[in-house]
Amino acid sequence: MNKSDQNNSPIPGASSEGSMTFLILISAVAAIGGLLFGFDTAVISGANAYIKTQFQLSAFMEGFFVSSVLIGCAMGALVAGTLSDRFGRKKTMIVTAVLFTIGGLGQAIAPELVTMTIFRILCGMGIGMASMLSPMYIAEVSPPGIRGRLVSLQQLAIVSGILIAYLSNSLIAHTALVNALKWRWMLGAEVVPAVIYFILLFFVPESPRWLTQSGDSDQAFNILSRIAGDKVATNEMTEIKKSLKQEKGKFSELFRPGIRTALIVGVSLAILQQFVGINTVIYYAPIIFKKTGFGAASALGATVWVGAINFLFTLVAIWLIDKIGRKSLLVYGGIGMGVSLFMIGLLFKLQAFNGPWILIFILSYIASFAASFGPVVWVLISEIYPNKVRGRAASIATMSNWVSNFIVTLLFPVMLDGLGEPISFWIFCAWCVISLVFVIAVVPETKGKSLEEIEESWMGLQPEEV
Ligand code: BGC
């Protein structure tokens, strides 16, 4: 694509050539939603220990407080589709930025736990909405040829947010602030990216797809043309109009035989992505490290490693996903996670905390997840559904992901207390084995296939043949 922004089009604002830079910039702005998703879910790992001590939380209360954000996430994922269909993608993204800002500020200044939990749930609504909206917006502004790579920016943004949260937690932990203030700064730090997100959103255009749907085809054409040039925009407009005609499908269509199989695959993958236990490490990493003898500050330092490895191996996934395929990544990653979790459980059983082994296996677990179930599940959810029902089906899968995340996060401290570390980690290891069987038996390989080819294969009801 030509990088120029020349404006030779008869339509004001449109461009005959298109601009890749413009496309990347607006995708990057939308992906800040993913960054806040990552930051907001991970920041609690550092603040948690201080809050637990200050408010003397029981294991159940701790689990409830940490996971309360996820109640908001599930609610947000549920309403985001309807809101953004009604008011547009851009306005709904602006609402998420407001939720992140108010939620972050509220948590930082809340006088007690109940108020803090309410603001945490508000942040959660922002995260849940962003987890639906950012990839959807990017997909809707991208030309087909580079849509996959651009949508993957979302997972990169999520893990960047996680890494930034770990770094900012570690920095704040090392300041001279008293402990009662440290967690407030940790939770409040998100206000900075949230305000930046809010401001930048005013500069991105509305989704051309949504504009067409609401009858503003001229404006939609202008935006597409600015992104990809007049020729591509004309073709895209034809496709959008065609697909919009097909999208009159009813909710009940989700349960038609072929689509039902796709729905089950997406929802199961979304659930398994959480049941392999990723967020026990993402949210509770410093607590796990402390149990193995790390001091409070060095536990936060070790947690930064978790964020860095998560980031690096997401790049590996982006590099490999279109080469060796989704299914192979899930299989190799599943084996890596299973072996790592088994070893973490064993080291806890033997109390063998001398040397770097516990850190090594926690990092190999994160690396295996980051190169497989992390990005691949979101990519599959965005591509395995037929055009007609993609929005609603993806919304159900996203909701399932947040509800499963809530269950695991709520139960983890109780599991540690009741069952101990070895059995807890071995349970997650067992879920890896279940995931592997599921992936090998049921999940189709979609590498290199057009969305229409994938759609047709579901209609043939033979997932293995996809
Ligand atoms: C998951 C999150 C997780 C993150 C970790 C995402 O794909 O949906 O639950 O915290 O990856 O990198």
Which among 439, 408, 438 is positioned nearest to 425, based on CA atoms? 408
Confidence at residue 42, expressed as pLDDT on a 0 to 100 scale: 85
Q: Who's near 200: CB < 8 A, 6+ residues apart?
A: 29, 32
301 alpha carbon to ligand 1 midpoint, in Å? Answer: 20
Contact indicator for 408, 277 with CB cutoff of 8 Å: yes
pLDDT at residue 212 in the model: 86
Angle formed by the axes of helices 147-173 and 20-42, nearest 10°: 40
Confidence (pLDDT) at 145 = 62
Tell me what pLDDT residue 2 has: 40
pLDDT for residue 191: 94
pLDDT at residue 290 in the model = 83
Instruction: Tell me the one-letter amino acid at 455.
Output: E
Q: How many CA atoms lie within 13 A of 92 on its CB side?
A: 27
User: Do the Cβ atoms of 189 and 107 come closer than 8 Å?
Assistant: no
pLDDT at 119: 94
- Nearest 5°: CA angle at 132, between 131 and 135? 85
* pLDDT mean values, one per 10 residues, the chain (466 residues): 39 61 93 93 85 86 84 90 84 95 94 91 93 83 71 88 90 86 91 96 92 88 91 82 64 78 93 95 81 77 87 91 89 98 95 87 96 90 74 83 91 91 96 97 82 71 43
Furthest-apart CA pair in the chain: how many Å? Answer: 74
Going from the Cα of 229 to the center of ligand 1, the distance in angstroms, rounded, reads: 35
Cα of 37 from ligand 1 centre, angstroms: 9
Q: How far is the CA of 375 from the centre of ligand 1 (A)?
A: 8
Q: Measure Cα distances from 92 to 82, 84, 165 in Å.
A: 10, 6, 24
Can you state the angle between helices 357-370 and 278-291, rounded to 10 degrees? 170
pLDDT for res 160: 94
Angle of the 451-459 helix axis to the 257-275 helix axis, nearest 10: 110
State whether the Cα torsion 252-257-259-261 is positive or negative. Answer: positive
Atom of ligand 1 nearest to the CA of 283: 10
Contacts of 439 (CB under 8 A, 6+ apart): 327, 330, 331, 334
* DSSP classification of residue 372: T
The answer to whether 184 touches 109, Cβ cutoff 8 Å, is yes
- Supply the DSSP symbol for 127: H
Q: Which of 158, 267, 404 to mutate to test the pocket of ligand 1 (most atoms within 8 A of CB)?
A: 158
- Ligand 1 atom with the smallest distance to the CA of 401 is 8
For ligand 1, the distance from its centroid to the CA atom of residue 152, given in whole angstroms, is 13
Q: Determine the distance separating the centroid of ligand 1 and the alpha carbon of 159, expressed in angstroms.
A: 8
Nearest alpha carbon to residue 201 among 56, 95, 100: 95
The residues lining ligand 1, judged by C-beta closer than 6 Å to any ligand atom, are 41, 155, 158-159, 162, 273, 278-279, 282, 310, 374, 378, 401, 405
Nearest-Å Rg of the Cα atoms of the chain is 22
Of all protein residues, the one whose alpha carbon is nearest to atom 4 of ligand 1 is 374
Is this structure's pTM higher than 0.85? no
Identify whether the C-beta of residue 226 lies closer than 8 Å to the C-beta of residue 6: no
Residue nearest to atom 10 of ligand 1 (CA): 279
Distance 374 CA to ligand 1 centre (A): 6
DSSP track, 230-250: HHHHHHHHHHHHHHHHHTT--
Q: In sequence order, what DSSP letters do the residues of 285-314 get, joined into one string?
A: HHHHHHHTT--HHHHHHHHHHHHHHHHHHH
Identify the residue whose C-alpha is closest to ligand 1 atom 8. Answer: 374
